[in-house]
Structure 1
Amino acid sequence: MKNLAIIVLITIPFLGACKGKENTFSLATKGSSGTTLAKVGNEKIGSDQFVVLYDKVQAGRPFGAVSKEDFLRELVRLELGALEAMKEKLDQEPEVEFQLKATLTQALLQKHLSEKVKNINVTDTEMKDYYDKNPQIRASHILLRVPPNADQKSQDEIEKKIGTIYKQAIADKKSFPELAKKYSEDPTGKRGGDLDYFSKDRMVPAFSEAAFSLKEIGDVSQPVKTQFGWHIIQLTGKRGFKDADKNIIRQTLLAEKRKKVVEDYFSSLEQKFKTTIFKDKLESLNTTPPPQPK
């Protein structure tokens, strides 16, 4: 059963691409499909399709082969499931249609952009330029959360409490880690509030502005309000490019370059298919707001 579950997970993405003009799902393709290995109603599973899918699954399982018989049985189950789903018109459900289009888009990007993305490089000069524009600091913080449904009295009490903690932190800056362990409602409190090194864009704007305005190691910020609650921040470290984590910088730049390749590709498709986005219509939509941070 474990093998079959894995086969389902790996094989399902291929089925999205098999939706034909007749609005049916099938592992059969037009034209020759080799020897018929199984029939499900009027649909046939051919040897050509079997080999393509089987080899794909095997390539992703270096520590255990899947038998051909088990794989064929799983393809039959997928065919049965797809036919029944079509009968129940599940393909017309918005979420299902979204998943199918996502699968097709993934296949499209793999076909046209995989080699281009794979050949992207990042130079040392690019990394240094990036770091000069996005320096990193190390900081610790103390957080007192403000519940989204807190009344004014509760909010005032939390603000008063963070002010009291701030006075203690200023009076003895070395006590900051212990104050964080005692008062902070953030998981980092257990380690003295340590956030490790981060760049300005990693945190919410109000937090970053306060943190990066600190000049000397040990400096403590005044209480700062964000959507998470009230913070007090202490600067605990600075470093230049020489001491920065080059791998993180490289991965960040690679991600940005890959993103640009994809964005440029979709920009060309927008021109090709004459795309128009009506932003003004979004405001009138009745959507569910995101959950508040805990």
Structure 2
Amino acid sequence: MGDTSVAPPGRVGRKSTTREPIIQEPVSSEPGSEPEATRRDADITESARANRGWWDRNADEYQIEHGTFLGDDRFVWCPEGLDEVEAELLGPPEELKGRDVLEIGAGAAQCSRWLAAQGARPVALDLSHRQLQHALRIGGTFPLVCADAGALPFKDGSFDLACSAYGALPFVADPVLVLKEVRRVLRPGGRFVFSVTHPIRWAFPDEPGPEGLSVSASYFDRTPYVEQDDEGRAVYVEHHRTLGDRVRDLVAAGFRLVDLVEPEWPDWNTSEWGGWSPLRGNLIPGTAIFVCERD
């Protein structure tokens, strides 16, 4: 997998493995070659094109690898395993009944399935058509929408709540654009909760063992992580924002930050997920969850 010294901090989606994806599209002019990992600029169009292609190619593998941990109808916020049942970041479960909820970057729509079981009316949106095919495979009676989070195909004030568990925001070049779109489709007083890789992880190697505990890069370097093919075309992109950047982005989009949750690693969780592990999780945060509301 290219140069691991420039790997991003968490890669909830991206994980090197010896298994070939079930769906495979060519990303290089030479069969069998691996994409090159680098740090360089990537604009809105390139990032969206690269990440749509990556998730379409790797959705099958992702669901095979992480489907058991995520479940079919659980609402898990992060690799630490924080569950909405206990966290209640969207509010008490009994208050979700009858609420219109937009899940952004829904993947196989596990979170939407849980929301529907509470009596909510979820809509699951994802950039990847293949991810949504897995949502169809698992089942559910709520709408599935294939669209870009930067151009939400909904009327103003369509939803009471919005949520995103590692969806969209780590992968977009203009997070304020996405946040403004989310605010637009929320009703006054609506809440948006989203989780992303904790920004401090960008200073550390993406490794679950002791080698992942030493600072190897500047926390303040916002240069995107890019995997590109032999012709220099991006096939995967992640964008870095510092903690302060995220707060300023929310304010610029018209949100009010209500809470910032940094889940601690629980004793029961003995699994590894990319760079997440019990060793690292007990020492440095891996996830940041932003709870915000529009007035």
TM over 0.5: no
Of structures 1 and 2, the one with the larger relative CO (CA 8 A, separation 6+) is 2
Q: TM-score, normalised by structure 2?
A: 0.20
Structure that is richer in helix per residue: 1
TM-score, L = length of structure 1:
0.20
**Higher-Rg member (1/2):** 1
More strand, by proportion: 2
